[in-house]
Amino acid sequence: MTSASAPNIVLLMADQLTPFALPFHGRPLVRAPALSRLAAEGVVFDAAYCNFPICAPSRYSMLSGRMPHAIGAYDNASEFPAEIPTMAHYLRAAGYRAILAGKMHFVGPDQLHGYDERLTTDIYPADFLWVPDWSKGPRHRPTGVGMGHVVDAGPCVRNMQIDYDEEVAHVAVQKLYDLARAKAGPFFLTVSFTHPHPPFVARQDEWDAYEGVDVDDPAVPGIPFDALDPHSQWLHVAHGQDRHTVTREHVLRARRAYYAMVTYVDRKLGEVLDALDRTGLGRDAVVVFCSDHGEMLGERGMWYKQTFYEPSVRVPLVVRAPGVAPGRRAAVCSLVDLLPTFLDVAALGGTRVEPVDALAGRSLRPLLEDAAAGGPGEAVSEYSSEGVIAPSRMVRRGRWKYVFTRGLAPRLFDLDDDPHELVDLAGRPEVADVERALRARLLADWDPDAVDASIRASQRRRLFLRELGLRSGAFPPWTFEARPGDAQRFVRPATATGAVGAKPRMRFPFVEPTPPDRAAP
């Protein structure tokens, strides 16, 4: 990587985008020309992982460079403590201006976390609305996620997520022109879209683009409930799959909508990349694209995220940097590696900022410059949010993936021989050494009993405050609003309650949503 000064850094994010829905990861029927061009110009990481397969904790972990449990990021209603330094703080210390456009799902009174400015309101609540309650079992789902998103899949003219991402693209492009005029630098710009997060509702233009396309079935068919591992059984119940009839037509429509949503967010990302080109700012910038987690998209009969199967926990990761030849990297890595990478990039300007806490990741800069650097790599991911009743952890090292859930039998997969994770090797004598080493690594800095106790205590505290807020109608006014009235436009306690939630209510033309616990006709 070459630079005469600290290069600008642009972090582009999609939400719930699995790499398996991208043409440069083996899905050629999906149209994503902007991302395909970025992939052709940059380095594609073929084994990148999130550190928590749900939105808020994944983002907290990525921003801080630390594992979720270490910062109390247990679920989508966990507060992100203001005392935790983030990549925005560190880059500001290196002389960067830090700017955020779009979703980041900060919970708590600090709505900047090191960014100098936010250009948009967040689409999701900043309070304790979505606290899980493990005492109620896996069916308890505070976000209300269910199979209605699948059975109601289809096109629309407009919805909440389109409203949001149109604004994100607009303000990000405008900010790039403003920065170019001011000849400001260096800057760290984060642009974070909410597509292709469910509901599976696509803009009519993109939906029509897949007319006549032979949308593929899931590679792994649905697995009978009795044959599911216990963690997957929890999610089956949590998502209300036992209370819906999901047909093949539903599955194909949901996959078509998801692919169309990928095409839509690709258009928005393309607008930002075009602005970088037109201003000349992209020439010497480090541009990174990733997602916060993946999407099961009907694989194994499963939907959404919350699991360590590859479509859920894997993420796309592309890095385009000056002086770095395009290519692909097989080494395992994860989103906590971005912060140390950005510190290495900032040091090109002569300022080396040392982190005040030990970071969980490693810099990817050596790997960008030399595909053989760093060995096979490692990724660790955690899960403890809604839909389950115990904390889980996963470690991927080389070809092996080991999964541990408190109270359940461990699981071990050889991803080279078994990419769809259909053969559990845990307990077999021939891989005993591998299993022993991975178990030791997984438990070295994570005590499942202590983590479980901390999570349950945190839930009790936050549930008490949540119920008080619901009774009084007065939640903490933590949500950052870029303009008056945004609290009524996006997901908040006042808009998320009632017979029809905020997202389905804003689908135009309106489609009466299928109740989460009623069988589809």
For 419-450, write each residue's pLDDT tens digit.
999 999 999 999 999 999 999 999 999 999 99
d(CA 385, CA 467): 18
Pairing of strands 187-192, 9-14: parallel
Is residue 298 within 8 A of residue 218, CB to CB? The reply is yes
The catalytic residue among 105, 113, 236, 293 is 105
Nearest to 481 by CA among 71, 165, 120: 120
Residue 72 above 60 pLDDT?
Answer: yes
Identify whether 105 is a catalytic site residue.
yes
Residue 453 above 50 pLDDT?
Answer: yes
The share of the chain scoring above pLDDT 70, in percent, equals 98
Identify whether 195 is a catalytic site residue.
no
Residue 219, pLDDT score: 97
Residue 521 above 90 pLDDT?
Answer: no
Residue 519, pLDDT score: 44
Q: Nearest 10 degrees: CA dihedral of 46, 47, 52, 58?
A: -40
Q: pLDDT for 73-109, tens place per residue?
A: 999 999 999 999 999 999 999 999 999 999 999 999 9
Residue 512 above 80 pLDDT?
Answer: yes
Is residue 507 within 8 A of residue 257, CB to CB? The reply is no
Residue 492, pLDDT score: 87
Residue 265 burial (C-beta neighbours within 10 Å; 0-12, 13-18, 19+): buried
Q: Which domains does the chain have, with CATH numbers?
A: 9-505 (3.40.720.10)
Helices 338-346, 55-64: axis angle to 10 degrees equals 30
The catalytic residue among 50, 55, 156, 333 is 55
Q: Which two tokens stand for residue 195?
A: 């597509």
Pairing of strands 117-118, 97-102: parallel
C-alpha Rg value of the chain to the nearest Å? 22
Residue 363 above 80 pLDDT?
Answer: yes
Query: What phi, psi does 511 have (nearest 5°)?
Result: -125, 120
- The residue among 244 and 396 whose pLDDT is bigger is 396
Residue 214, pLDDT score: 96
d(CA 299, CA 310): 10
CA 362 vs CA 85, 287, 343, 378, 440: distances in Å: 17, 18, 10, 10, 20
d(CA 397, CA 379): 7
Q: pLDDT-derived band of residue 520, with 50, 70 and 90 as boundaries?
A: very low
Q: Which two tokens stand for residue 486?
A: 């945004």
Nearest to 263 by CA among 509, 49, 29, 46: 29
CA 274 to chain centroid, in Å, comes to: 24
CA 274 vs CA 172, 174, 208, 320: distances in Å: 11, 12, 24, 14
- Beta partners for 97? 187
Mean per-residue pLDDT over the chain, rounded: 95
Residue 498 burial (C-beta neighbours within 10 Å; 0-12, 13-18, 19+): exposed
For residues 43-74, one letter each, b for 16 or more C-beta atoms within 10 angstroms of the residue's C-beta and e for the rest, the string is: bbbbbbbbbbbbbbbbbbbbbbbbbbbbbbbb
Nearest to 290 by CA among 29, 118, 51: 51
DSSP H or E segment with residue 37: helix 33-41
Nearest to 257 by CA among 518, 511, 519: 511
Q: Which two tokens stand for residue 295?
A: 């999407």
Q: pLDDT for 467-509, tens place per residue?
A: 999 888 888 889 889 988 888 889 888 877 665 778 888 898 8
d(CA 284, CA 292): 25
